[in-house]
Amino acid sequence: MSMPDTRTPGATSKGTSTATGAKVDPHAVTISGIVVQPTYGPDTPPESLKNIPRDIAAPGQFPYTRGLFEQGYRTRLWTMRQFAGFGSADDTNRRFKYLLAQAKTSTKANTGLSTAFDLPTLMGRDSDDPLCMGEVGKCGVAIDTIEDMHRLYADIPIDKVTVSQTINGPAAVIWAMYLAHAHQRGISWSTLGGTLQNDILKEFHSQNEFIYPPEPSVKLVVDTIEFQSRHVPKWNSVSISGYHIREAGSTATQELAFTLRDGMEYVEACMERGLDIDDFAPRLSFFFNSHNEFFEELCKLRAARRIWARVMKNRYGAKSERSWFMKTHVQTAGCSLTEQQPLNNIVRVAYQAMAAVLGGCQSLHTDSMDETLGLPTEQAVTVALRTQQILAHETGVTRVTDPLGGSWFVEALTDKMESDALDYIHEIDSMGTYTDWHPVGTQKGAPSASSGSAPSLEQHQA
C-alpha cells in the first residue's frame, strides 16, 4: 500500500519529531510508533477503500482481510484455550481437569488445553540433570518419559479436546511421546486435534530456548510438518509465533512482519524438501499477541490475513484456498500486566481479548490477573475464562463478522501496518535465508537467487 511513512522513533513528554522536524503530540502516537490523525474520513480515503474488491472483499473471500469465514463466529466460536503447567504431571492434570470443569457449557463454545512445560523440558533435559536444579516444575510441567505423558493427560478425552503444546527445541520428541501415549490408549491419530508450537526460528531472535544451530533445527521442524501431513491430519504441525517476539520488546508491526517471514522460511524449507505446498500449508497456524493498543491489535490480525493469503498464492503458488488461510491463536499480553493493583489486569485482559475477537482470531487465551505474582490461583483462572465467556455470550460482538470493516480509520491503519510489515519483509529477504548466517567477523555471501524475494507492493496487491 502506498501511504506516507509516519513511523517515529519514539515519543517524549515534549512531543515527537517527524521526518520533517515537526513536533507531534505524543498522545497521537500508538504504542508501535505510528502517528494517527485526529479524524479519518472521505477527504483522504485509504487505498483499500479505493479498491474494495481487491483489498477488503467480503468475509470469506480472498484476501480474507475481513475474516476467513462468511458467517464468522455465528457458526463457530473461537476456541477458549486455557494455558496451564506446573509441578509434576499429576499436578498439571488436576489443573487441566479443573479448567475443563469450569468450561463446561451447553453453548457452541469450544474448549481446549494448552500445555506449559518447565525450562528443563524446553531445553531437552531430564529433571535429574544437575543443570536443572531449582528449575524443575517451576514455570511449567516437567515431562521426562512417556509415563509422564500418560499422567499428564490421564482421563482427558484427547480425541475430543484439542491440545496445544508450547514446546520448540525438543518438540519432535515431546510430540512423539504424545502420539505414542495416544496409540497406547487406543486413540486413533486421525481423531487428534491440537497444535505443536514447534517454531524454532523465533527462539533465535526472541525467546532463546534453542538447542541446535538454525539449519538442523529447521530440518526437525520440516520433519514434523512432513510427518503430520501424512499421518495426523487434524493436527497443526507448527504455530508460527509472534507472541514471544512482542513480549521481547517488538512493536506490533515488527511482530507482524517477523512472524510472517518466519512462516515463509518454513514454507520454503518444506518446498525445498519436495513437499507439495497444498499438502502441508493448510495445517500451518499462527500465534499473535494482543496488547493494550486496541485498534492496532485488531488491525494487525486483518493485515496478517491479507499478507499471508497473497504471499501463499502469488509468491509460492498455492492452489488450495485452505493454504491461503492465516489461522491464528491469540494470547493477551503478559508483559502488559502489573504487579501493583492486579485487579486492574482483569480490565486490561478484557479489552485485549475483545481486540483479538474483533480481529477475527480462531482461538484465544486470556491471562490471569495475578500471573505477575506467581502461579495463577483457581479464582484468577476462572475469572480469565469467564472473561471470554462473557465476551462470547453477553456483548453481541459475535453477531456480525468484522463489524469494524469499512471504517475510515480501521482500514487506514490496516493498510499502514501491512505496508510497514512488507517493508520489513523486503529488508529480511535482502539478507538471504537462515542458512546464510555467519558468525560475526566472517564473510557473508550475497543472498542466492534461490532464496527468492518478496513481491513488489504492486505484485503483492494483485
* pLDDT tens for each residue of 310-334: 999 999 999 999 999 999 999 999 9
pLDDT: is 16 or 220 the higher one?
Answer: 220
CB 301 within 8 A of CB 360: yes
Banded model confidence at residue 145, pLDDT cuts 50, 70, 90? very high
Measured CA to CA, the distance from residue 170 to residue 143 in angstroms comes to 11
Residue 20's pLDDT is: 60
CA within 13 Å, CB half, 264: 31
Q: Which residues pair with 165 in a beta bridge?
A: 115, 196
Least confident of 111-115, 117-121, 213-217: 111-115
- Tell me the three cell numbers of residue 24: 507531534
Residue 447 has pLDDT above 90, yes or no: no
Q: What is the DSSP letter of 29?
A: B
Banded model confidence at residue 450, pLDDT cuts 50, 70, 90? very low
CB 400 within 8 A of CB 72: yes
Residue 8 has pLDDT above 50, yes or no: no
284: CB partners within 8 A, 6+ apart: 225, 236, 237, 238, 240, 263, 266, 267
> ω into residue 214 within 30 of 0, thus cis?
no
Residue 344 has pLDDT above 60, yes or no: yes
**Residue 459 is inside which H or E element, if any?**
helix 457-461
103: CB partners within 8 A, 6+ apart: 80, 82, 109, 111, 385
Residue 196 has pLDDT above 50, yes or no: yes
Residue 455 has pLDDT above 90, yes or no: no
CB 28 within 8 A of CB 443: no
Measured CA to CA, the distance from residue 259 to residue 244 in angstroms comes to 10
Residue 287 has pLDDT above 50, yes or no: yes
Nearest-5° angle of CA 67, CA 228, CA 123?
95
Residue 449's pLDDT is: 32
Q: What is the DSSP letter of 331?
A: E
Region of 120 (left: φ > 0; alpha: ψ -120 to 50; beta: rest) is alpha
Residue 374's pLDDT is: 87
Residue 7's pLDDT is: 34
Mean pLDDT confidence for 213-228:
96
Residue 333's pLDDT is: 97
Residue 307 has pLDDT above 70, yes or no: yes
Domains contained in the chain, CATH given: 63-400+427-435+447-452 (3.20.20.240)
Residue 102 has pLDDT above 90, yes or no: no
pLDDT: is 456 or 271 the higher one?
Answer: 271
Residue 179 has pLDDT above 60, yes or no: yes
Q: Which residues pair with 110 in a beta bridge?
A: 79
pLDDT above 70 coverage of the chain, percent: 88
Measured CA to CA, the distance from residue 165 to residue 175 in angstroms comes to 8
